[in-house]
């Protein structure tokens, strides 16, 4: 095992190279099998820690702890107590945020400039959920029954949640699960991605430091095919919240039939970003570019299909190519870095495979297209890449690449743009760049996607939320309907006679 000491604080307990256990019932726990696996810094390829390799037995132990907590004192906490607790969490996360941001950068590669900017978003999310904790309400309902009968409904927590989150932003991703759990009174077993688990383990520690009872939040590390699959099919789990690929989402849907689990799924995307000829290119070029390149393209709703009106395609491609070439790619701990590495060798090979096939299908390489060598050769870096004259039926336009690869597809008029935008099995994000209000309304109403951005890309507010349709999944993250997935409706009939 090797640790690149100059790039990390070796005194941090998560970065000292020693094995890290699961977090079950309020304490660290080694895998019951005794097995561990390495986790790497994707910017250097170096091992930074060993994690417990969870399997069905570890999941079972975590679910047992979560069930006991749900049926124990935590189940009797009042809405005010849960809200006050989230206030304490807000202060503690703020206090430790620089540590969390650095840990995230080292663990999954995102530039420190990006992870540090998550502070306001995460703190805002925590306060949003604190408000939701005291706003769970039922209804008193009129009925047409004979005699005197009072009817009303109650919204009650569903129980134990299985939270399976991806590696592309676990510091934020975990709060789409934790927020609903802590506001509603549920408990949770989290299974972070094997490539990026450290910030999730650290957050669980902070929650307990803030006064969370043992067993309310548990974290089991391991592989999706073992620990994740066990969590999805565990009969003691009442609901699964999953973010990840559509392929894995299908398996979770199948696993949910064991006990008819409720599901919230955010799956893949191949989002259209549509630039009309009247758009302000000074805004649209960087906006569309970072809609693809942000987080090195590792965002579910990345706008990787960029539809550009044919009359401005040449100018747009020239400008966006120059923008991409000017981005600084490097180790995320460098404060000047704008794009970090891909998460792993496996993901690097996947992205390079798409790049190698694109030109063969007829796309024109306008910028990038190669792995970055030199001083970054040990990491998983690729150049921001732009292909022009792409057809909507090419692989790079149909399949989710999850890398910094833009496909520029020309169109002639609004109807063609709308048709091409919707010609995809996905429906997560979308955007329109134009100065024409009438065109905005037609596109916003016509695009089949869970989110439509206008003259911007990727803005998300936890109090507003977002979601997807078609093969991008179902359910919402954030907004006033988010908590619905953590609650069920219980109807009460009282015979007053």
pLDDT tens digits, one per residue of 254-297: 999 999 999 999 999 999 999 999 999 999 999 999 999 999 99
The reply to whether 286 and 387 lie within a common domain is: yes
3-state secondary structure 271-299: CEEEECCCCCHHHHHHHHHHHHHHHHHCC
Q: Could you give the residue numbers annotated as active site? A: 266, 300
Is 467 among the domain residues?
A: no
pLDDT tier, 15 (very low <50, low <70, confident <90, very high otherwise): confident
Q: How far apart are CA 258 and CA 238, in angstroms?
A: 11
- Under 8 Å between Cβ of 59 and 164: no
Instruction: State yes or no: pLDDT of 183 exceeds 90.
Output: yes
Is 287 among the domain residues?
A: yes
Q: How far apart are CA 256 and CA 262, in angstroms?
A: 7
The reply to whether 226 and 338 lie within a common domain is: no
Q: Residues 215-238: pLDDT tens digits? A: 999 999 999 999 999 999 999 999
Count of the separate structural domains present in the chain: 2
The reply to whether 364 and 442 lie within a common domain is: yes
Mean pLDDT computed over 365-378: 97
The reply to whether 255 and 197 lie within a common domain is: yes
Residue with the bigger pLDDT between 4 and 127: it is 127
The residue to which tokens 């029954």 are assigned: 145
Is 333 among the domain residues?
A: yes
Residue with the bigger pLDDT between 137 and 4: it is 137
Q: How far apart are CA 290 and CA 310, in angstroms?
A: 21
The reply to whether 338 and 250 lie within a common domain is: no
pLDDT tier, 16 (very low <50, low <70, confident <90, very high otherwise): confident
Is 455 among the domain residues?
A: yes
The reply to whether 305 and 446 lie within a common domain is: yes
The reply to whether 116 and 230 lie within a common domain is: yes
Q: Strands, DSSP E only, in 88-212?
A: 139-141, 149-157, 160-164, 187-191
Is 122 among the domain residues?
A: yes
The reply to whether 75 and 174 lie within a common domain is: yes
The residue segments making up the domain with residue 451 are: 272-461
Query: Percent of the chain scored above 70 by pLDDT?
Result: 98
- Determine the pLDDT at residue 235: 97
Instruction: State yes or no: pLDDT of 10 exceeds 80.
Output: no
pLDDT tier, 179 (very low <50, low <70, confident <90, very high otherwise): very high
Is 469 among the domain residues?
A: no
- Determine the pLDDT at residue 19: 87
- Determine the pLDDT at residue 11: 59
Is 403 among the domain residues?
A: yes
Instruction: State yes or no: pLDDT of 12 exceeds 90.
Output: no
- Determine the pLDDT at residue 2: 35
Q: Residues 411-450: pLDDT tens digits? A: 999 999 999 999 999 999 999 999 999 999 999 999 999 9
Give the strand pairing for 19-20 and 22-24: unpaired
The reply to whether 230 and 339 lie within a common domain is: no
Judged by DSSP in three states, 199 sits in helix
CATH at 35: 3.40.605.10
- Under 8 Å between Cβ of 299 and 403: no
Is 497 among the domain residues?
A: no
pLDDT tier, 7 (very low <50, low <70, confident <90, very high otherwise): very low
The residues pairing with 492 across neighbouring beta strands, listed in sequence order, are 152
Helix axes 79-95, 118-133, angle to 10 degrees: 170
Longest dimension (CA), the chain: 84
Q: Residues 403-418: pLDDT tens digits? A: 999 999 999 999 999 9
Distances in Å between the alpha carbon of 422 and those of 279, 433, 470? 21, 17, 11
pLDDT, mean over the chain: 95
pLDDT tier, 175 (very low <50, low <70, confident <90, very high otherwise): very high
- Determine the pLDDT at residue 14: 79
Q: Which two tokens stand for residue 440?
A: 């905005």
Give the neighbor-by-neighbor strand order of the sheet with 405-411.
Answer: 364-367, 385-388, 405-411, 305-309, 272-275, 431-433, 453-454
Q: How far apart are CA 327 and CA 200, in angstroms?
A: 30
The reply to whether 326 and 443 lie within a common domain is: yes
CATH at 390: 3.40.309.10
Own/partner contacts of 345-350, CB < 8 Å, gap of 24 or more, are 345/45, 345/380, 347/298, 347/380, 347/402, 347/403, 348/380, 348/382, 350/401, 350/402, 350/403
Instruction: State yes or no: pLDDT of 9 exceeds 90.
Output: no
Instruction: State yes or no: pLDDT of 1 exceeds 70.
Output: no
The reply to whether 247 and 187 lie within a common domain is: yes
- Determine the pLDDT at residue 497: 76
The reply to whether 362 and 378 lie within a common domain is: yes
Residue with the bigger pLDDT between 354 and 19: it is 354
């Amino acid at each position: 095992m090797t640790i690149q000491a100059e790039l990390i604080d070796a005194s941090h307990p998560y970065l000292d190279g020693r094995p890290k256990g699961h977090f079950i019932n309020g304490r660290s726990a080694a895998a019951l099998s005794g097995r561990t696996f390495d986790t790497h810094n994707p910017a250097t390829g170096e091992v930074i820690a060993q994690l417990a390799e969870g399997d069905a037995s570890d999941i079972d132990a975590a679910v047992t702890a979560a069930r006991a907590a749900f049926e124990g004192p935590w189940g009797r906490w009042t809405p005010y107590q849960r809200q006050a607790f989230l206030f304490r969490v807000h202060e503690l996360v703020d206090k430790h945020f620089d540590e969390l941001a650095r840990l995230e950068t080292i663990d999954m590669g995102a530039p420190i400039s990006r992870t540090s900017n998550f502070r306001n978003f995460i703190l805002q999310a925590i306060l949003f959920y604190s408000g939701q904790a005291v706003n769970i309400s039922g209804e008193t309902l009129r009925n047409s029954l004979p005699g005197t009968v009072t009817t009303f409904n109650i919204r009650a927590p569903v129980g134990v949640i299985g939270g399976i989150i991806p590696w592309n932003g676990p510091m934020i991703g975990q709060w789409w699960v934790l927020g609903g759990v802590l506001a509603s009174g549920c408990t949770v077993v989290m299974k972070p991605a094997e490539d990026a688990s450290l910030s999730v383990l650290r957050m669980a520690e902070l929650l307990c430091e803030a006064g969370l009872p043992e067993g309310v939040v548990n974290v089991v590390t391991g592989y999706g095919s073992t620990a994740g699959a066990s969590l999805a099919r565990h009969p003691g789990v009442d609901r699964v919240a999953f973010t990840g690929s559509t392929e894995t989402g299908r398996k979770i849907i199948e696993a949910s039939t064991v006990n008819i689990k409720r599901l919230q799924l955010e799956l893949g995307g191949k989002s259209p970003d549509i630039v009309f000829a009247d758009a302000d290119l000074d805004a649209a070029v960087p906006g569309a570019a970072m809609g693809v390149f942000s987080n090195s393209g590792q965002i579910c709703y990345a706008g990787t299909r960029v539809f550009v009106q044919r009359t401005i395609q040449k100018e747009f491609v020239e400008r966006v190519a120059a923008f991409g070439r000017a981005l600084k790619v490097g180790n995320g701990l460098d404060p000047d870095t704008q794009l970090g590495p891909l998460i792993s060798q496996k993901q690097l090979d996947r992205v390079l495979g798409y790049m190698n096939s694109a030109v063969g299908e007829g796309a024109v390489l306008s910028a990038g297209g190669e792995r970055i060598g030199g001083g970054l050769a040990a990491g998983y870096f690729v150049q921001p890449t732009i292909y022009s004259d792409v057809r909507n039926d090419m692989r790079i336009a149909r399949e989710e690449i999850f890398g910094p690869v833009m496909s520029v597809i020309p169109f002639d008029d609004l109807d063609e743009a709308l048709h091409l935008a919707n010609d995809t099995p996905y429906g997560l994000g979308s955007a329109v760049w134009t100065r024409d209000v009438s065109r905005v309304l037609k596109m916003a109403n016509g695009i089949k996607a869970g989110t439509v951005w206008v003259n911007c890309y990727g803005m998300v507010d936890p109090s507003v939320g977002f979601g997807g349709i078609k093969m991008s999944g179902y359910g919402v993250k954030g907004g006033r309907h988010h908590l619905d997935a953590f609650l069920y409706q219980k109807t009460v009939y009282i015979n007053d006679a």
